[in-house]
């Protein structure tokens, strides 16, 4: 048995802290089951704290929010030219992202057929290489927009590729490119609507990038790929219990690949939690830079010696051997613990299977 515990007071603290750091509108990014915290419950907590704009990565997430009575603005963060998807979005009042001429034409066509004016957010590709119009397409985009009477621009945005990096060079170049495109649009008499570019790392580090709105996800969980200088609480931990407690003799191997061998007789506990639950999956800090990959490889090679712990009765219990798909073995030396006692483990909620029950405390 296990549960992912979400400390709602700490989450509320983070929300308030983030709110106090900006006067821009906050778009709460709730993709990936709200980074694992639970989509609907998290949206409701956000709303209680005055957040009234959400962004998701899947249409299913947006529909789920609608069916749970969330009436606020919801932005779908990928661009689609699929008529069926667009009909579904417009029919449910979900804001499409338009990032290509094909999606613009499709949204215009569907909106016209549905006899409505579709509010969209335009996406510009300032260097991510995924969704969005390229800067040299802006002139043509403005022309096309003037021909698209079924489309109304609610906002324009771009996504940053390196906001976690130590040096802000790439981020500021993307910002400059974005602002040039915006000027160009204005010169061509196209109102770009609300402007947003910052994700969590950009929001926290560069106030200049706040613009009209900020799109925040990971900062709400206090789990960011940069040093947490803002005192954001880390949200979420896994709670399980000891399924077995027993003694292994000296010189006995533990786990796959026999990476651990007991020196003397040892009292062990087994916890039914493993990789499948997202435990031990997360790499701390960013693995985006080559040097970090080398560093992690080095640590992995040494990892037979790397010590990982869980908490039992307020004490650290070391994990012995490898983390398995569904189980771990811990050292109970010096810990008065028996079968059924609670075990807590740090885990990034994002990686915790959605089927694991969430408990809100």
Binding site for ligand PLP (CB under 6 A): 29, 31, 77, 159, 199-201, 215-219
Smallest separation (angstroms) from ligand PLP to the CB of 22? 13
Smallest separation (angstroms) from ligand PLP to the CB of 234? 14
Q: Are 260 and 321 in contact (CB under 8 A)?
A: yes
DSSP 132: S
Q: Containing H/E element for 20?
A: helix 8-20
Smallest separation (angstroms) from ligand PLP to the CB of 128? 9
**What does the alpha-carbon distance between residue 202 and residue 258 come to, in Å, rounded to a whole number?**
44
Smallest separation (angstroms) from ligand PLP to the CB of 180? 20
Q: Nearest 5 degrees, angle CA 190-CA 196-CA 198?
A: 155
Longest distance between any two alpha carbons in the chain, whole Å: 79
Nearer to ligand PLP (CB atom), residue 98 or residue 330: 98
- Percent helix, strand and coil across the chain, each to the nearest 5: 35, 25, 40
Smallest separation (angstroms) from ligand PLP to the CB of 33? 13
Nearer to ligand PLP (CB atom), residue 201 or residue 356: 201
Backbone angles phi, psi at 314, to 5 degrees: 75, 5
Smallest separation (angstroms) from ligand PLP to the CB of 126? 12
Smallest separation (angstroms) from ligand PLP to the CB of 219? 6
- SS3 sequence of 1-12: CEEEEECHHHHH
Nearer to ligand PLP (CB atom), residue 130 or residue 180: 130
Nearer to ligand PLP (CB atom), residue 215 or residue 358: 215
Nearer to ligand PLP (CB atom), residue 201 or residue 254: 201
Structure tokens at 324: 């398995």
Q: Are 192 and 120 in contact (CB under 8 A)?
A: no
Q: How far apart are the first and last CA of the chain?
A: 18
Directed axis angle between helix 101-113 and helix 138-146, to 10°? 10
Nearer to ligand PLP (CB atom), residue 77 or residue 89: 77
Smallest separation (angstroms) from ligand PLP to the CB of 18? 10
Nearer to ligand PLP (CB atom), residue 141 or residue 204: 204
Q: Closest Cα partner for 310 from 280, 355, 286, 340?
A: 280
Task: Output b/e per residue, 153-163; b: 16+ Cβ within 10 A.
Answer: bbbbbbbbbbb
**What does the alpha-carbon distance between residue 286 and residue 227 come to, in Å, rounded to a whole number?**
10
Nearer to ligand PLP (CB atom), residue 196 or residue 322: 196
Residue with tokens 């109970």: 332
């Amino acid at each position: 048995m296990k549960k992912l515990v979400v400390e709602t007071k700490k989450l509320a603290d983070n929300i308030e802290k983030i709110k106090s750091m900006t006067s821009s509108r906050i778009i709460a990014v709730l993709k990936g089951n709200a980074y694992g915290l639970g989509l609907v419950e998290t949206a409701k907590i956000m709303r209680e704290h005055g957040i009234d704009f959400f962004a998701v990565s899947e249409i299913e997430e947006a529909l789920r929010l609608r069916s749970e009575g969330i009436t606020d603005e919801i932005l779908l963060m990928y661009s689609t030219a699929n008529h069926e998807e667009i009909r579904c979005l417009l029919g449910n009042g979900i804001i499409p992202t338009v990032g290509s001429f094909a999606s613009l034409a499709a949204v215009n066509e569907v909106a016209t057929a549905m006899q409505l004016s579709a509010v969209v957010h335009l996406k510009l590709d300032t260097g991510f290489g995924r969704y969005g119009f390229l800067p040299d397409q802006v002139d043509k985009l403005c022309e096309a927009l003037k021909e698209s009477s079924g489309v109304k621009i609610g906002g324009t945005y771009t996504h940053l590729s390196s906001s976690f990096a130590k040096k802000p060079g790439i981020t500021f170049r993307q910002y400059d490119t974005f602002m040039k495109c915006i000027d160009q649009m204005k010169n061509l008499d196209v109102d770009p609507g609300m402007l947003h570019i910052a994700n969590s790392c950009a929001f926290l580090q560069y106030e200049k990038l706040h613009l009209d709105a900020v799109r925040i996800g990971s900062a709400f969980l206090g789990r960011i790929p940069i040093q947490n200088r803002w005192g954001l609480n880390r949200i979420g931990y896994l709670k399980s219990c000891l399924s077995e407690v027993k003694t292994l003799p000296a010189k006995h191997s533990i786990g796959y690949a026999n990476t651990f061998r007991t020196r003397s007789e040892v009292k062990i506990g087994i916890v039914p939690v493993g990789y499948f639950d997202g435990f031990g999956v997360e790499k701390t800090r960013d693995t985006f830079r080559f040097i970090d990959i080398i560093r992690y490889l080095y640590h992995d090679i040494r990892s037979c010696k790397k010590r990982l712990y869980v908490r039992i009765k307020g004490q650290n219990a070391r994990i012995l051997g490898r983390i398995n798909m569904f189980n771990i073995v811990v050292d109970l030396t010096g810990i008065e613990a028996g079968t059924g006692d609670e075990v807590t483990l740090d885990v990034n909620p994002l990686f915790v299977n959605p089927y694991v029950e969430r408990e809100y405390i």
